[in-house]
Amino acid sequence: MRHWLTLLALMVPWAWTLHAAEECVIEPVTRSTRDPGAWIDQDNWLAPENLRIGLQSFGRFMPSLKIRATETAQMLRPASRQLELDKLKARDPLDQQPRDVGFLLATRLYADGLLVLRDGKVASERYWNGLVAQDQRLLLGGTRPILSLMGAMAVAQGKLSPDRSIIRYIPALSGQTGLRKLSIRRLLEGESSFDWSSNDVSDWLAAGGWNTGNTAGGIRAWLNQPGRWDRDFSPNPQLGEVGPDSDLLVWALAEAYRVPLTRTFCQELFEKLRPESAALWLSDSQGTELSAGLALSLRDFARLGQLLIDARNSNRRHKVPNWFIETLTASAGLRIANSPDLAGLRKGSEYRYGFVHLGGAPNRIAILGPYGNSLYVDFDRRLVIAIFAAYPRKHSAGMRATLEQVWDMLGSATQPSGKR
């Protein structure tokens, strides 16, 4: 009897470890064989006229990894007072005429979905053009700040040192002397990038499988081609965009945690959201996750903003480091003008770790993905606004100005009378 009790005592911790290791389920999803139609192909599926199909039907064009957190989903509850979008008036920044928020969303931003959370409860939720709550939308460049967040978490856990060179963490790149000047800090901040030609970018996209071309070796073979990083930093980097540098961050995170990026994302971040739907992450032909490849449902995208609010307001130790949130929200001081990358937003707005610190009222940040896909977080009001859209340009001043008008009006409308 004592022998069996001893054996059971030894087995219980082992069983618990096995259970913990299975909390996140990662499953490869092969490229769909469904015909996308005669007019949509591998080279135009993300063209402006095809966005609504491309951003939601990415599985037709690229393989992906499905990420399921086995924790019980925490369903979002409705707020006691629901916003009436068609009765909220704002000023249209394009012609300065008064318009309702519903009009600005549907007509100016080409919105497909809106979710407003106030104190973690749904104050408004609306979908257009066939999008439903369970649909995952490809974030593209909106993935970049999430990678920086994961990098900050790795720094807080001692897995990455911000002042060390990237090649310290990726032994396969030790022969790339051009990377010795690229520190982890510089990579996380995302305020500089190497100077890539249009041909370089086209080749990089093909290596990831985004368009046609040589995809046999995958993204990491492309990153490690001899002399790939023997170049200077760009004098005018395109802030808020993903590029080859972002795939280095994906590689560094995988090496730091010694598991694929999707498993780290699920265990360190995604399962903490208590998500309702699976996430998907696009991969190259070798199964390596791509830096612009995350797809989330609108509800789970909004949960990410709520997680940041809860992390800042919690007295308990949180995986999201407090210094990271304080860096995002700290006052920008007096600014003469925004950079051209953020024209249309209030003075004082600037990129920080891929997020946008918003000028004007304090403690507001945003993820500005391409085509109007965005996540707005107001820490003081405990407000999150998630938008999926198909605006026919990646970025524009008019789009950003319209987003700011929508954020302002929805933020004001969620406040009790007398506090607006």
Q: Mind spelling out the 3-state secondary structure of 297-314?
A: EHHHHHHHHHHHHHHHHC
Residue 71: per-residue pLDDT: 81
Query: Which pTM does this prediction carry?
Result: 0.92
Computed on alpha carbons and rounded to an integer, the radius of gyration of the chain in Å comes to 22
Range of lowest pLDDT (121-135, 195-209, 229-243, 353-367): 229-243
Averaged pLDDT, 95-100: 94
SS3 141: helix
Strands (E), 302-382: 350-352, 355-357, 364-368, 374-378
Please check the confidence at residue 38 and state whether its pLDDT lies above 90. Answer: no
- pLDDT tens digits for range 261-310: 999 999 999 999 999 999 999 999 999 999 999 999 999 999 999 999 99
pLDDT at position 49 over 60? yes
Phi/psi of residue 376, nearest 5 degrees: -105, 135
What is the pLDDT confidence band of residue 8, given thresholds at 50, 70 and 90? very low
Does 26 score more than 70 pLDDT? yes
Q: Is 24-76+115-413 a domain of CATH 3.40.50.150?
A: no
387 closest CA partner among 190, 113, 118: 113
Distances (CA, A) of 314 to 160, 231, 261, 330: 25, 44, 27, 18
Cα–Cα distance for residue pair 172/76, rounded to 1 Å: 44
> What mean pLDDT comes out for the span 58-75?
91
The winner for highest mean pLDDT among 96-110, 236-250, 330-344 is 96-110
In one-letter notation, the amino acid at residue 30 is T
Report the percentage of the chain scoring pLDDT > 70: 92
pLDDT at 329 over 80: yes
What residue spans define the domains of the chain?
Answer: 24-76+115-413
Lowest-pLDDT range, 185-194, 253-262, 266-275, 351-360? 185-194
For range 20-37, the mean pLDDT: 78
More confident residue, 317 or 61: 61
Computed over every residue of the chain, the mean pLDDT equals 90
Q: Measuring CA to CA, how many Å separate 299 from each of 69, 288, 387, 396?
A: 15, 26, 10, 25
Write out pLDDT tens, residues 126-178. 999 999 999 999 999 999 999 999 999 999 999 999 999 999 999 999 999 99
Residue-wise pLDDT for 371-418, tens only, equals 999 999 999 999 999 999 999 999 999 999 999 999 999 999 998 765
What pLDDT is stored for residue 419 in this prediction?
58
Question: Is residue 122 over pLDDT 60?
Answer: yes
Confidence of residue 332 (pLDDT cuts 50, 70, 90): confident
- pLDDT attached to residue 314: 77
- Residue 67 above 60 pLDDT? yes
Task: In whole angstroms, give the CA distance from residue 394 to residue 141.
Answer: 9
pLDDT level of residue 32 (50, 70, 90 thresholds): confident
